[in-house]
Structure formats: structure tokens, C-alpha cells
Amino acid sequence: MTRLLFALAVLLSAALTFTVQPLVGKQLLPLAGGTPGVWNTCLVFFQAMLLLGYLTAHVVTTKVHGVGRQVAVHAAVLLLAVAVLMLGGLLKPNESLLPADAETPVGYLLLMLTVAVGLPFLALSATAPLLQAWFARGGGNPYPLYAASNLGSFGGLIAYPLLVEPTFTLADQRWMWAVGFGVCAVLVLACGQVGRMAISPSGERKHPESDHLRGLTLPARVNQLHWLFLAALPSSLLLSVTTHLSTDIAPMPLLWVIPLGLYLLTFVVAFGQWPPAARRLVGRVAPMGLCFVCVVLLTRANQPMAMVAAVHLGAFTVVALLCHGELAALKPPPEQLTHFYLWVAAGGVVGGLVNALLAPVLFGGLGYVEYPLALVLAALVRPPGKSPDAPFGRWDWAMPLVLLAGTAGLTIAGQLFPKPPADDPATAMLLRLLRGGLTFGLPCVVAFTQVKRPVRFALCLAAVLVVGQFSPTEHGRTLETARNFFGTLRVTESDDGQFRRLVHGTTQHGQQKVSDIGRPAPTMYYHRKGPLGHLFEVLPAERKRRVGAVGLGVGASAAYAEAGDDWTFYEIDPAVVRIAKDERYFTFLSTCPARWEVVLGDARRQLANAADGSFDVLILDAFNSDAVPVHLLTREAMELYLRKLGPRGVVAFHVSNNFLELPELVERVAHAAQPTLEVRYNDGLPPTDADRASGYAQSHWVLIARTAADLPTRPDGRSDFRWQPMQPRPGPVWTDDFSSLLGVWRREER
């Protein structure tokens, strides 16, 4: 019965700990652009608070005499946390603490997190190690409770996107979490009382960990650094894989919880029943996973999303399981429990800080380097062998140099492959895969032959990754790389030298034809043959004088501005603004004859400052990447757009998306904001070879007007670019208090 009570308290505290993370993160994401940087900042904050919670537990168990006094101290912390919850808005972040135009909002986000959830999360973080310490003092083995804690964390994390988010509003979620916190506090106090009664006064040991720490020797401290490294590496990989998945493969916030869930599961497995045979098997599989993920990372061939995601997640899981398995093998006796957890938590914070704070500063001009670096470090980890490692020799540095030169040669040879045909995606993908396999697959096979020498194996992988860092991509030659809180941007030039492009991950945010002299022609989603071009072609001049555009890109939509017009662009990323204004790359803004300005900051918050009726046309173009800024697609946001429109104004939504049914969502949100609105849909035409040569790319747009008379055309069938009435489909209406990606997930190809 005692074990069940402790296990239930641990499970609930862990579930609350990892339910509050997506709950609070969901509220913060729209305030700072909805980028992976926001989620990574949240992860770093929660890791730091977890460390502080473990430190609190360590101090309480080593400095406070007796379980009874420890229970009293923790009870006071829990009660104070309950008071903070009730007085602080029940986990609702204070939006006023974040400036609308914060260029690097990390500090502001950390402040908002501290105010909203700092003390309750600290109390929960200290709960699990305290419960395990009390259980151990009663004679039980605490490490199964650690596995149970991670299982509860995994359950809470997965339950949020699958059950909690689609079912309850944010207000309901906050209340439910607060009630759960109160129940957890009662269970913890009950466990403390049971634990106190289970220990006789004569049998309780005072300061067991303090005595141990005073006698630490140098080997013990080295062992603690080993704990730190084994905890930091999976933490760094967690953020690396998360950013890669949500930027380069499928930029969906829904994917952000999957790596974290797998990370927690590896703790459950490693600290459960972990036989030596499984430990050795993982040690053999992990190097293969590293080689596979290096090939996929470097091939960049627009491979099937499911396959690529599976490779990255599979390799991450195996490496995390390897590191956590070694960590479990090095765990100390129960007397040193909180000290061990303190080092593990510190490692998690170190790994998070490297990715979220240090890497953007250290590697800003090189792009996203920390992921390959973490893969190289992971190659050094393996279970102890039967024989000691051989000393470092000359082949340990010569072999990687040879492989570096060989990979560079293969990269040059790979450029001799035929150019992938634009009209045959299957053949194009096959050619890219063959070229990638030749260029990077063979070197990775050679690197794998050195797996019995971990240092040599790691250096060989590093050699391959270094060459890949500077090899051409599917978007062409890189001219400039810019990295900040909002991600990594690359200005590239196509292989044939015809186009310059702005690329974020695998998403192109606009391009310009290099040969254009004077004012450039709009391309891609803004092409004159596309829906936006048709809109500006048929609107009378007096109905397109004042234009607002959410999302700047390279400034291609400014190609439709005329002398005497007023254009206002809203852009959250200062790097995008700098690049769009740089005439070496793009000249849409510099040749624009209209009066124009760029307002830096979150579009919705800055748009609220504009006068009502300010715009004839409002372009919402923050949706051409699959990282959906939810707060721009809510009923309250639609009401804001309508207030900012002039008497006969129109709102044009760019809703191209690979995974979500955004047109239907926009239609439902529009009619929820004002049932009499007219909503039309335009999916453009598939491009011909001549269209591709001119830079045209098919795109999908939704047009909203107050009356049918305000629409530029009627669906009479005489034009390929007719704005078609939308058939209403049942589904969720997003509000500021409710949104769920599962409700708008695309189930069929459009």
C-alpha cells in the first residue's frame, strides 16, 4: 500500500510537470512568432527550474533534520505555490511583459514564465526526488519510482495534444491543472506522513549525503562529470532534433512533443529493468543510427517526410537510450539519490543552454551546427568493452583527413549528375538520392568500419559532416546565412544562376529573377498569373491604394504597388527585413514607387495600433510555411482585421499548407466573426514549363469581403482564376482560448 501511494503521488506530480509545459508554451508561442526558438526557450526554462527543484530537494534532505521537518518545509512550499496560482491568473502569462517588437525576446519570455509558473513548477520539480528520498529512508528501492516518474511525465505530455488540447479551452485547462496540483499536494503530504511513521527515531540517519560529499575523491568528481555529459548530450540532441523536425522537415508545433516524449521514454526504460544484453545491443545499434542520420541530414533530397522523420527520431531514441542506459549503470546508492539527480538535471540544463542560447551566438554565420556536433559527440559514447581502449595513434587523425579529402572529391563528382527534371518529381528525387548516396553514403560506410575505435569513428563522422556543411543544397549555392532567435535564413542562388531565393529550412519565402532590370517581376506565390496577381489586376485603382501585408519575405508583393499608394509591411524577424532591403539580393522594396514602411514586431499586436479603416487590402501571408501562427487565425484576430479594413476592403489569406486544412478553417473563423461575410477560394493553376521558367509556383488563397459586391470577380466560369464560393465543412473554430491542430489535420490530398 505504501509503494502504491508513493507511486501514485510520483506519477501525478510528473504528469502535472509535463502537462504544464505545452499548456504554458501554447500561450507563449503566438506572442513571440510561433517559432521553434520559443519552444526551445520554454524547454530551457523548465530544465533550469527542474534543476532548481532538484537542488531544493537536495538541500532539504541534507540540511533539514528528520522527515517530519522536511515534510513541513515542503508543505509550506506547496501552499505558497497554491497561493501564487490563485493570485497569478492560473498559469496565464502576462502579455504586457513582452514588448511587441522584441528582436531577441528570450529574456522577456523567461520573465513571463517565471511569473506565470515558476513557483508551482519548482514545487513539483522538488516533489519527485523528495518522495523517493523518503521512500528510500523507509527501506524501499527508490529507482523504480524514478522510472514511474518518467512514465507519468510521458503520459502527461502525450495526453495534452491528443486529449486535453482538442477537448478543453485554455481557461478550462488552467483550472483543471490547478485542481490537479491541489490533489497532488494532498497526496504528497500523505506520503510524507506515511514515510515519517515508517522510520523509527533511532533508525533515521541524519545528513547521509552530507557525510558522503565531504569525503569525495577526485575519481568521484570525474564520475560526476560523466553524469553531467551523459545527461547533457541527449538534452542537446532533443532540442536539435526538435528544431530540425519543425524547421527542415515539417514545421508543425504538433511534432515538438514527439522528441520530448521519446526522451522521457528512454529514462523509463533505462531506469527500469535494464539487462546487460540490452545495453550491449543498444551500444551496437547506436553507431548505425548515427551513420543513417548523417546520410539523411546531408542528402537534402526532399525525401518522404515520414521516412526522414523516422530516421531522425529513431537515431535520437537509440542515442538517448544509450546515454541514459550508461547513466543508469553509474547510478549511486540511494544515500546519494538527490545528489545524483542534481547532476542529471544540471546536464539537462547545460545541453539546453548550448542549443538555445550559446549556439545562435557562436555559430550564427555557419547556420545550424549544433546538431552535427552533437552527433559527433554521440559517436564517443559506448558501453565499456571487455578490453581497454587502444591509445590514440596516428591513424586516428590520418584516417579522418583521408576521408575528408575523399568526401570532398565525391561532392565534386556528384555535381556531374544530370540535373533533376522539374516536371518529374519521382525521377528528380531518385537522382538526388543517388547523388546523396554517392557523395555521403559511401563515406559514412567507411566511417562505420572504424566503429570499434570511438575517437576515430567520431572524427570520421566529423569529416563527412564538415564537407556536407559547405556542399550545395537543393536550393542552390548559399550566398549568405543569417541566424537569430527566429531561425536560420539562407540567401541562395539557383544552380542555373537564374533566381535568388530566401530560404528558411526547406521553405522558400520568395525569390527574384536575377536578370530582371529595373523593377523586378513578382514570382512564386505572388506571380501575376497566380491568385494574388489576379486580385491586383481586377481591383480598381481606388480600392488598392492602402495595403497592409503581414509577412514581408523578400518584399515580392510590393511589385503591385503604384506611385501614390501606401503600403505597410508587418514582419517579426529583423533578419528578414535586413535581407529584403539588401539590394545585392532583392530589389522589390528599393524599386517600389509607393510610400512604404516596415513595422517590426508581432503582426497582430502591431496591427492593433493602426487606425480602424486603415486598409483597402489586407494581405495575410504568414502561412506559406507550415509553422502556423495560431493567433493570426482565430475569431478574435478576424474581428481585428475587419476593423482595420476600409468600407469596401478585402482580406487575402495565403493558405498554402502541406498538412492542414487552412481554407476550411479560415471560412469557419470568418463566419464565426461575422456570419454575413463573403468567402471565396482560389487554388491557382498548376505551372507549365514556361511558368516554372518565369518563377511561378502554385499557391492557395482565400478572399474575404463584407458583401458580394466588394469581391473583385464573380464565379462565372469564364476565367481560370475565378474565386470560388467555399462549401462549408463542419469543424472547429479557433479562438484565442481554443485551438487544436488535430481538428484541421489534412486527411486527403487537395
Q: Are residues 181 and 229 in the same domain?
A: no
Domain stops at, among 206, 232, 262: 206
217 within some domain:
no
DSSP-derived secondary structure letter, 476: B
At residue 70 the predicted structure's pLDDT band, cuts being 50, 70 and 90, is very high
Among 684, 403, 419, which residue's Cα sits nearest to residue 528? 684
Q: Residue written as cell 510521458?
A: 154
Q: Are residues 652 and 719 in the same domain?
A: yes
Tell me, rounded to whole angstroms, the distance of Cα 553 from its chain centroid.
Answer: 21
Positive or negative: CA dihedral 673, 675, 678, 683? positive
At residue 120 the predicted structure's pLDDT band, cuts being 50, 70 and 90, is very high
Contact present, 555 and 623 (Cβ < 8 Å): no
Q: Are residues 587 and 636 in the same domain?
A: yes
Q: Are residues 237 and 298 in the same domain?
A: yes
Q: Are residues 244 and 297 in the same domain?
A: yes
Three-class DSSP category at 494: coil
**Quick one: how many helices (H) and strands (E) in the chain?**
25, 12
Among 595, 503, 557, which residue's Cα sits nearest to residue 701? 557
pLDDT digits (tens, 9 = 90+) for 105-118: 888 888 889 988 99
395 within some domain:
no
Q: Are residues 6 and 55 in the same domain?
A: yes
Residue-level pLDDT at 53: 92
Q: Which of 275-284, 388-397, 491-500 has the lowest mean pLDDT?
A: 388-397
> What is the Cα–Cα distance from 556 to 528, expressed in whole angstroms?
11
pLDDT digits (tens, 9 = 90+) for 602-626: 888 889 899 999 999 999 988 644 5
Please count the residues of the chain.
750
At residue 303 the predicted structure's pLDDT band, cuts being 50, 70 and 90, is low
Pull the grid cell for residue 191. 506520503
Max mean pLDDT range (26-30, 558-562, 729-733): 558-562
At residue 1 the predicted structure's pLDDT band, cuts being 50, 70 and 90, is confident
Contact present, 619 and 557 (Cβ < 8 Å): yes
**Which residues are CB-neighbours of 535 under 8 A, at least 6 positions away?**
617, 650, 652, 701, 703, 712
Residue 621's Cβ-count burial label (10 Å; 0-12, 13-18, 19+) is: buried
Contact present, 492 and 503 (Cβ < 8 Å): yes
Pull the grid cell for residue 657. 499548407
> What is the Cα–Cα distance from 108 to 86, expressed in whole angstroms?
23
Pull the grid cell for residue 368. 545550424
**Which residues are CB-neighbours of 121 under 8 A, at least 6 positions away?**
17, 20, 46, 49, 53
Residue-level pLDDT at 208: 42
Radius of gyration of the chain (CA): 28
Residue-level pLDDT at 212: 39
Domain stops at, among 206, 232, 255: 206
Residue-level pLDDT at 410: 80
Domain span at residue 564 reads 514-744
Residue-level pLDDT at 442: 87
Contact present, 395 and 460 (Cβ < 8 Å): no
**Which residues are CB-neighbours of 50 under 8 A, at least 6 positions away?**
17, 125, 345, 348, 349
Residue-level pLDDT at 277: 86
Residue-level pLDDT at 199: 63
538 within some domain:
yes
Q: Are residues 568 and 693 in the same domain?
A: yes
CATH number of the domain at 666, please: 3.40.50.150
Give bridge partners of residue 596 from the DSSP assignment.
Answer: 567
Among 33, 98, 433, 427, which residue's Cα sits nearest to residue 247? 33
Structural domain count, the chain: 3
**Which residues are CB-neighbours of 65 under 8 A, at least 6 positions away?**
206
Q: Is the pLDDT of residue 395 over 60?
A: yes
Q: Where are the alpha helices (DSSP H) in 160-272?
A: 165-167, 170-198, 208-214, 218-244, 257-270
Q: Are residues 304 and 164 in the same domain?
A: no
> What is the Cα–Cα distance from 167 to 172, expressed in whole angstroms?
10
Residue-level pLDDT at 211: 39
> What is the Cα–Cα distance from 721 to 732, expressed in whole angstroms?
29
Tell me, rounded to whole angstroms, the distance of Cα 586 from its chain centroid.
Answer: 29
At residue 515 the predicted structure's pLDDT band, cuts being 50, 70 and 90, is confident
> What is the Cα–Cα distance from 554 to 591, expressed in whole angstroms?
13
Q: Are residues 356 and 418 in the same domain?
A: yes
Share of the chain above pLDDT 70, in %: 85
507 within some domain:
no
Q: 596: how many CB neighbours lie within 10 A of its CB?
A: 18
pLDDT digits (tens, 9 = 90+) for 694-714: 889 888 999 999 988 888 765
CATH number of the domain at 60, please: 1.20.1250
Three-class DSSP category at 549: strand
Among 610, 608, 521, 625, which residue's Cα sits nearest to residue 573? 625
93 within some domain:
yes
- The mean of the pLDDT values for the chain is 84
Pull the grid cell for residue 566. 501606401
Contact present, 125 and 49 (Cβ < 8 Å): yes
**Which residues are CB-neighbours of 249 under 8 A, at least 6 positions away?**
305, 308, 309, 312, 505, 506
> What is the Cα–Cα distance from 299 to 474, expressed in whole angstroms?
9
Residue-level pLDDT at 144: 83
> What is the Cα–Cα distance from 149 to 327, expressed in whole angstroms?
16
Q: Are residues 196 and 232 in the same domain?
A: no
Three-class DSSP category at 163: helix
> What is the Cα–Cα distance from 61 to 65, expressed in whole angstroms?
8
> What is the Cα–Cα distance from 526 to 195, expressed in whole angstroms?
68
Q: Is the pLDDT of residue 627 over 60?
A: no
Among 22, 506, 11, 8, which residue's Cα sits nearest to residue 260? 22
> What is the Cα–Cα distance from 599 to 15, expressed in whole angstroms?
41
Q: Which of 41-50, 64-73, 214-223, 581-590 has the lowest mean pLDDT?
A: 214-223
Which residue type occupies 723? W
The two most distant CA atoms of the chain are separated, in Å, by 94
Residue-level pLDDT at 203: 46
477 within some domain:
no
Q: Are residues 589 and 634 in the same domain?
A: yes
Pull the grid cell for residue 619. 494581405
Q: Is the pLDDT of residue 204 over 50?
A: no
Pull the grid cell for residue 575. 533578419
Residue-level pLDDT at 36: 64
> What is the side-by-side strand order in the sheet with 678-682?
595-600, 566-571, 546-550, 615-620, 645-654, 701-705, 678-682, 724-725
694 within some domain:
yes
Q: Is the pLDDT of residue 586 over 90?
A: yes
Residue 632's Cβ-count burial label (10 Å; 0-12, 13-18, 19+) is: buried
Average pLDDT over residues 705-729: 71
Q: How far is CA 515 from CA 193, 441, 494, 612, in A?
A: 79, 37, 13, 41
Three-class DSSP category at 492: strand
Q: Residue written as cell 502554385?
A: 698
Q: Classify the phi-psi angles of 50: left when phi > 0, otherwise alpha if psi is within -120 to 50, otherwise beta.
A: alpha
At residue 206 the predicted structure's pLDDT band, cuts being 50, 70 and 90, is very low
Give the HSE-up count for residue 611: Cα atoms under 13 Å, Cβ half-sphere. Answer: 6
The residue among 526 and 394 whose pLDDT is bigger is 526
Contact present, 645 and 651 (Cβ < 8 Å): yes
pLDDT digits (tens, 9 = 90+) for 325-366: 999 888 888 878 888 889 999 999 999 888 877 887 777 666
Q: 365: how many CB neighbours lie within 10 A of its CB?
A: 10
Q: Are residues 154 and 249 in the same domain?
A: no
Contact present, 60 and 130 (Cβ < 8 Å): yes
Degrees (nearest 5) of the Cα angle 459, 463, 465?
110
> What is the Cα–Cα distance from 11 to 20, expressed in whole angstroms?
14
Can you give the pTM of this predicted structure?
A: 0.81
Among 98, 35, 1, 158, which residue's Cα sits nearest to residue 485? 35
Query: Pseudo-torsion of CA 123, 129, 134, 139, nearest 10°?
Result: 170
478 within some domain:
no
Q: Is the pLDDT of residue 720 over 50?
A: no
pLDDT digits (tens, 9 = 90+) for 431-440: 666 776 778 8
At residue 389 the predicted structure's pLDDT band, cuts being 50, 70 and 90, is low
At residue 598 the predicted structure's pLDDT band, cuts being 50, 70 and 90, is very high
Domain stops at, among 139, 172, 206: 206
Beta 645-654 vs 615-620: how paired, if at all? parallel
Contact present, 627 and 596 (Cβ < 8 Å): no
